[in-house]
Amino acid sequence: MSALLTIDRMSIAAGERQLVRNVSFSIAPGERLGLIGESGSGKSLTALALIGLLSDAMMATGSILLADTEVVGARERQLVALRGPVVATIFQEPLTALDPLMRVGRQIGEVVRRRMRHDCVSTSSQQVQARVLELLARVSIPDPERLARAYPHEISGGQRQRVAIAMALAWRPRLLIADEPTTALDVTTQADILKLIGQLVEEENMALLFISHDIPVVAAAVDRVAVLKQGELVEDGSVGEVLQAPNNGYTRSLIEAARTFDRALGRLF
Amino acid sequence: MSFIQVENLSFRYDQTRTIIEDLSLSLEKGRNLGIVGESGSGKTTLLRLLLGLAQPSAGSISIDGQVLDTKNWQFMRDFRRRVQAVFQDPYSSLDPRQAIFDIVAEPLRALKIDVDVAKAVAEAATAVGLPADAAQRYPHEFSGGQRQRIAIARAIVARPDLVLADEVVSALDLSTRILIVDLLKALSTSVTFVVVSHDIALVALLCPDIAIMEKGRIVESGPTEHVLSNPVHPYTRRLLASTPRLP
């Protein structure tokens, strides 16, 4: 099966400054890849580049082939067709991803309606409403009717992230990008959201690009990891390979740091 | 008599919103205490009370047997020398317009401590591993980890007994985090830390004692090793089960 996403010698520059250098990796349909790196390593830029959302001051070169469409140099029209049906994104801070003035149900409904239009299916508002409630139930929100009427500020951080996931899911995308989706959440909420993402990715047969600096979190969410350091890809392998026998010195030091914290927790639970 | 004794402490904004409820704990010099809880558990409020930045609604905090009295300015001046703090965000906790020397020297000036300022600042800067030329530079020239070192230097410059560390590594990358943990460990020989965090692993690395907070109460406390290996309270168990582990 051919890859859903193939990034080939992609670089991103802001004027003279090279922010990402010659990065190549690919994701097969249904595959879960983790992109690990510290702040400033270029991991979020890479995600933005592949949906054509880099700011005007930045330029991507090389090739990003997403569902057989070349993203580098693509026209806005082509990109719009990719965003949503092919790739949907959830971000770290769900509060900024949601419109504060619109009830949660309507925000999800908007996406549902656009997806139905995309499929050339005519819609009634009852159908949209039913699908919104179905999506909220899918992301394990206990009282979908009540939550659909809430504004983003009225619900907790964990529920906001569930809503953001429901919006991404409404597109039925082939690739889900999750950019630090649990960094702003409490540990117990993080565990719930990770479980939810894992379950949905499997049920919907979506591919996943999971971006995080937190190695144990990434290891729990994906099958394969790539490590970025100062804009360069220094490692790409299965979670087991990379954790047990990292090729690169930088990856080794990161894993050693993660192990120090992990060891402190002991073996008993 | 414990060094710090917190007795039946409560804090509420009004009748319906109780943030801290009937909380007691004690702290000995030389034994770091970790306070672990999620957002909304009241850990930051507890920290504010411990710093004398808020008034308890009921109960008391005492240091070496003396009750913390925020209205007694003479007592507070001595208290502020003995109890210092480091906060989460090294980007907002340092004045961008002051040189590092002035930032680190601030507690000495504010508390009118009669020491050789230049010598004390140099010692604090060395203790936290800041480069020799740091003193005349400004915060924007430093990375997050270096800034946190500056904040730690400021906290220890007046030679306090106790430093309250509120989520001090949460904003840092993993590889920087481990360096700051090593630093705090090294400093623990001369100062006692209260480490407030949602990160159990951080507390386990730094603190022989742990207290787990939920909804304004301490639900479980004791030696860290013991609590981690035999968690009794359901909330502690859930917290531990939720903590992501390396395979």
Chain A residues in contact with B243 (beta carbon < 8 A): 187, 191, 265
Contact A188 B38 (CB under 8 A): yes
Tokens of A245: 């026998």
How far apart are the C-alpha atoms of B10 and B153, rounded to whole Å?
A: 32
Average pLDDT over residues B18-35: 96
How far apart are the C-alpha atoms of B113 and A109, rounded to whole Å?
A: 63
Of A38, A186, A265, the CB nearest to B173: A38
* CB contact burial A22-60 (16+ within 10 A = b; e otherwise): ebebebeebbbbbbbbbeebbbbbbbbbbbbebeeebeb
Residue A269's pLDDT is 47
Local confidence band at B40 (pLDDT 50, 70, 90 cut-offs): confident
Domain for residue A164, yes or no?
Answer: no
Q: How many CA atoms lie within 13 A of B57 on its CB side?
A: 15
* A221–chain B Cβ distance below 8 A for any pair: no
Chain A residues in contact with B177 (beta carbon < 8 A): 257, 261
Given a cut of 60, is residue A140 above it in pLDDT? Answer: yes
Average pLDDT over residues A57-75: 95
Q: Which residues pair with A6 in a beta bridge?
A: A26, A65
CB-CB contact of B176 with B145 (8 Å): yes
pLDDT tens digit string along A157-207?
999 999 999 999 999 999 999 999 998 888 999 999 999 999 999 999 999
Three-state SS at B42: coil
Residue A251's pLDDT is 96
CB-CB contact of B200 with A150 (8 Å): no
How far apart are the C-alpha atoms of B32 and A263, rounded to whole Å?
A: 19
* A36–chain B Cβ distance below 8 A for any pair: no
Given a cut of 80, is residue B246 above it in pLDDT? Answer: yes
- State the nearest Cα–Cα gap between B223 and chain A, in angstroms: 13
Domain for residue A30, yes or no?
Answer: yes
Local confidence band at A1 (pLDDT 50, 70, 90 cut-offs): low
Residue A183's pLDDT is 87
Whichever domain contains A214, its CATH number is 3.40.50.300
Q: What ipTM, to 2 d.p.?
A: 0.86
Given a cut of 90, is residue A266 above it in pLDDT? Answer: no
Domain for residue A9, yes or no?
Answer: yes
The residue range of the domain holding A255 is: 5-95+175-264
Tokens of A237: 């392998």
Domain for residue A239, yes or no?
Answer: yes
Chain B residues in contact with A217 (beta carbon < 8 A): 244
Mean pLDDT of chain A: 93
Give the long-range contacts of residues B64-73, CB within 8 A, separation 24 or more: B64/B1, B64/B3, B65/B1, B65/B5
Torsion of CA B48, B49, B55, B56, to 10 degrees: 140
Domain for residue A233, yes or no?
Answer: yes
**Tally of structural domains, chain A:** 1
Domain for residue A244, yes or no?
Answer: yes
Domain for residue A121, yes or no?
Answer: no
pLDDT tens digit string along B41-55?
999 999 999 999 999
Chain A residues in contact with B198 (beta carbon < 8 A): 186-187
Contact B38 A186 (CB under 8 A): yes
Residue of B nearest to A253 (CA): B175
Proportion of chain B above pLDDT 70, given as a percent:
100
Q: Which CATH code is given to the segment(s) B4-89+163-242?
A: 3.40.50.300
Local confidence band at A70 (pLDDT 50, 70, 90 cut-offs): very high
Domain for residue A63, yes or no?
Answer: yes
pLDDT tens digit string along B99-117?
999 999 999 999 999 999 9
Tokens of A268: 């008993």
Mean pLDDT of chain B: 94
pLDDT tens digit string along B117-175?
999 999 999 999 999 899 999 999 999 999 999 999 999 999 999 999 999 998 888 98
Residue of B nearest to A221 (CA): B244
Q: By C-alpha distance, which of A257, A224, A249 is closest to A239?
A: A224
Residue B1's pLDDT is 77
Residue A55's pLDDT is 92
Contact B244 A219 (CB under 8 A): yes
- State the nearest Cα–Cα gap between A39 and chain B, in angstroms: 7
CA B64 to chain centre: 18
Given a cut of 70, is residue A27 above it in pLDDT? Answer: yes
